[in-house]
Amino acid sequence: MTTTRKILFHQDFVSGKLDSPTFVDLGYMKALDLGNLKTWFTKVLRGQQLEGLNKPSWMMNGGIEISGAELYRQNNIWHYHCGIYVNQPGDPIAWTSANLDMNIQGKTSAAVYHYAKTSDAIVILGYSPEHVPFPGATDPNNPLVSRTSRLAKTLDLTGGMLIK
């Protein structure tokens, strides 16, 4: 089990210009969404459990690999359902660990955070207010494709520089 010691942000997510229903870059996120993002990564860093569904982006909920999603598997790309959890009152069936282990019994939402897992950190690649399940890993219009190919382009913003 890997402990998340650090949360990094991909440079293209920080400086990007995306502002659509399916992908929103950091500078275009609403105040509420920014607050939720900070709460999420703070819980991860503090070792607290999370209520949302969390899974690899190359797998369906049943554990079946998605054809054409090898780029996600090779780079360990995951997504976390970050809320609003509509019509899902109370606790989830199962909680997601702060290590961000696979949990398909967490709560689901339209919104997700896309991230890569590394040996001691996660790299936030993007935010989707309206998650399109299984965005094509070979689709050139999918920003996760270019960000995944340049995972080393990161910034540490958790100290409050841009995330307040």
List strands edge to edge, sheet with 77-81.
54-56, 77-81, 112-117, 121-128, 6-10, 154-155
Six token digits for residue 111: 């919104």
Question: Cβ(138)–Cβ(146) under 8 Å?
Answer: no
**Prediction pTM value:** 0.91
The percent of residues in the chain predicted with pLDDT above 70, rounded, is: 91
Side-chain-side CA neighbours of 95 within 13 Å: the count stands at 11
Question: Cβ(78)–Cβ(123) under 8 Å?
Answer: no
Between the CA atoms of 89, 92, 95 and 98, what dihedral angle is there, to the nearest 10 degrees? -30
CA distance 128 to 23: 5
pLDDT tens-digit profile of 123-161? 999 999 998 776 777 777 789 988 988 888 888 877 654
pLDDT of residue 5: 77
CA distance 53 to 107: 5
Write the Ramachandran bin of 16: left for phi over 0, alpha for psi from -120 to 50, otherwise beta: beta
The percent of residues in the chain predicted with pLDDT above 90, rounded, is: 66
Mean pLDDT computed over 4-32: 93
